[in-house]
Amino acid sequence: MDPSSGSTAELQSFLEQEKQKAVLNELVGKLTDVCWEKCITYAPGSKFSSGEVSCLSNCAQRYLDTSTLILRRFQNMQR
């Protein structure tokens, strides 16, 4: 077995993994940014209210739904 092919594969899977992490990291950063603006209307206190917690969580999930919906719309337009 060629030793260099094994290590190239290793490197490739490492890069693929890091790329995936970077995409997720950016998504979470973006969503936190958007949802912070939407949900945290007052100066932050020592603790989130339960309303703020559920707003952040719902906001993130609905943003993803919105993204799916719009993507589907765009795909339909291309046909």
Partner 1 sequence: MDPFGAPPSSLSGTQASNEHMMGQLKQQLAQAYAEEFFSTVRDKCFTKCVPKPSTSLSGSESSCITKCVERYIEATGIVSRAVFTALPR
Binding site for partner 1 (CB under 8 A): 3-4, 7, 10-11, 14, 18, 21-22, 24-25, 27-29, 31-33, 35-36, 40, 43-46, 48, 53, 56-61, 64
Q: Which is nearer to partner 1, 44 or 76 (CB)?
A: 44
Q: What are the Cα distances from residue 16, in Å, to 5, 8, 29, 60?
A: 16, 12, 20, 25
Our CB check for partner 1 shows the closer of 25 and 71 to be: 25
CA 61 → CA 10, 17, 41, 79, distances in Å?
34, 24, 19, 28
- Compare residues 24 and 73 and give the one whose CB is closer to partner 1: 24
